[in-house]
Structure 1
Amino acid sequence: MNSTLINDFGKKIGGARKDTWKGRGLSLSDLYEMTAEEKKVFVKKDNVWEKPDWTSLIAAGADKAVSFWKNEVRKSLPKDPSSMLGEDRNERYVAFVQAVRDHVMELTSMNETRKILTWLKTDGYLVPITPYYCDVPKKWEGVINRSFFKAIQKNTFDLCREKSYPLFGVAKEDADYVLIKNRLKIYFYEGEDVAFKTETRGTSIRKYLSIHEGYATHFYYPEKIEEYEKTWIKNSWIIVDSGSRDIIAYNLCTEKEAADTVEKIARAAAEIAPKKTAARASKTIFHYPQLSWVERKGTDYRNGFHATPELLMDTFGFRGGEFGNWLGDKERQENLNQAYDALMDLADILETDPKNLTFHGTLSIAFGSRGKGGAAAATAHYEPLRRVINLTRMKGAGCLAHEWAHALDHSLAGTFSKPGSSELLASECRISPDAPESWKKLLSALKRKEDGTFTDFYVASDKFDQIHRKSGHGYWSSTCEMFARAFDCYIADKLREKGLRSDYLTAHSDCFVEEMSGTTYHAYPVGNERERLNQLFDALIADLKGMVNA
Structure 2
Amino acid sequence: MAENLQHEDFGEKIGGAKKDLWKDRGLYVDDLGAMNEREAEKFVKKDNVWKKPDYQAMLDDGVPLGVVYFIKKARDSLGASPQYRYSDKTPELRRARQEEYIETVRQLQAVIEDVRTLDDAMQAYDRFLIQNGYVEQVQGWASGTHYRATKKSLDNPVITNKLVQALHIRSASHFDRDFTQKAQQEQFGVSKDQKMPKGYASQDAGTGNPADRADRDRLLPQFRKNGKRMRERRRLLGQQHGNDGQGFCLLYQG
Rounded to whole Å, the distance in 2 between the matches of 1:71 and 1:123 is 21
The structure number with the bigger radius of gyration is 1
Report % sequence identity.
24
Rounded to whole Å, the distance in 1 between the matches of 2:75 and 2:19 is 21
Match of 1:121 in 2: 130
Rounded to whole Å, the distance in 2 between the matches of 1:184 and 1:82 is 41
Rounded to whole Å, the distance in 2 between the matches of 1:170 and 1:261 is 13
* Residues 66, 15 of structure 1: alpha-carbon distance in 2 compared, 3 angstrom cutoff: same
Rounded to whole Å, the distance in 1 between the matches of 2:36 and 2:168 is 37
Identify unmatched segments of 5+ residues in structure 1: 1-7, 186-259, 275-550
**Paired AA for residue 71 in structure 2:** K
* Residues 24, 48 of structure 1: alpha-carbon distance in 2 compared, 3 angstrom cutoff: same
Match of 2:177 in 1: 157
1:292-311 → structure 2 map (5 Å cutoff): none
Rounded to whole Å, the distance in 1 between the matches of 2:24 and 2:188 is 22
Match of 1:66 in 2: 67
- 2:193 aligned residue (167, 173, 179): 173
Contact 1:55/1:171 (<8 A) preserved: no
Q: Secondary structure at the match of 1:132?
A: strand
Q: Secondary structure at the match of 1:160?
A: helix
Match of 2:223 in 1: 269
Contact 1:181/1:263 (<8 A) preserved: no
Rounded to whole Å, the distance in 2 between the matches of 1:113 and 1:183 is 21
Rounded to whole Å, the distance in 1 between the matches of 2:194 and 2:47 is 26
Contact 1:68/1:165 (<8 A) preserved: no
**Paired AA for residue 123 in structure 1:** N
**Paired AA for residue 152 in structure 1:** L
Rounded to whole Å, the distance in 1 between the matches of 2:198 and 2:117 is 23
Q: Secondary structure at the match of 1:15?
A: helix
Rounded to whole Å, the distance in 1 between the matches of 2:157 and 2:184 is 26
Rounded to whole Å, the distance in 2 between the matches of 1:261 and 1:99 is 40
Identify unmatched segments of 5+ residues in structure 2: 1-5, 140-144, 170-174, 206-213, 229-254
Q: Secondary structure at the match of 2:148?
A: strand
Instruction: Give how far 1:69 is off.
Output: 0.3
Q: How many residues align structurally?
A: 191
* Residues 261, 34 of structure 1: alpha-carbon distance in 2 compared, 3 angstrom cutoff: closer
**Paired AA for residue 121 in structure 1:** I
1:482-521 → structure 2 map (5 Å cutoff): none
Q: Which has the higher strand share?
A: 1
**Paired AA for residue 127 in structure 1:** E
* Residues 141, 164 of structure 1: alpha-carbon distance in 2 compared, 3 angstrom cutoff: farther
**Stretch of structure 1 that moved more, 97-106 or 127-136:** 127-136
- 1:136 aligned residue (147, 150, 173): 150
2:32 paired with 1:39: no
2:15 paired with 1:15: yes
Q: Secondary structure at the match of 1:133?
A: strand
Instruction: Give how far 1:135 is off.
Output: 1.2
1:48-447 → structure 2 map (5 Å cutoff): 48-83=49-84, 86-87=93-94, 88-119=96-127, 120-130=129-139, 131-138=145-152, 140-154=155-169, 155-162=175-182, 165-176=185-196, 180=200, 182=202, 264-270=218-224
* Residues 39, 182 of structure 1: alpha-carbon distance in 2 compared, 3 angstrom cutoff: same
| RMSD, aligned α-carbons | 3.2
Contact 1:58/1:64 (<8 A) preserved: yes
Contact 2:66/2:183 (<8 A) preserved: no
* Residues 135, 19 of structure 1: alpha-carbon distance in 2 compared, 3 angstrom cutoff: same
Q: Secondary structure at the match of 1:176?
A: coil
* Residues 21, 156 of structure 1: alpha-carbon distance in 2 compared, 3 angstrom cutoff: farther
Contact 2:65/2:180 (<8 A) preserved: no
Q: Which has the higher helix share?
A: 2
Structure with higher RCO (Cα < 8 A, 6+ apart): 2
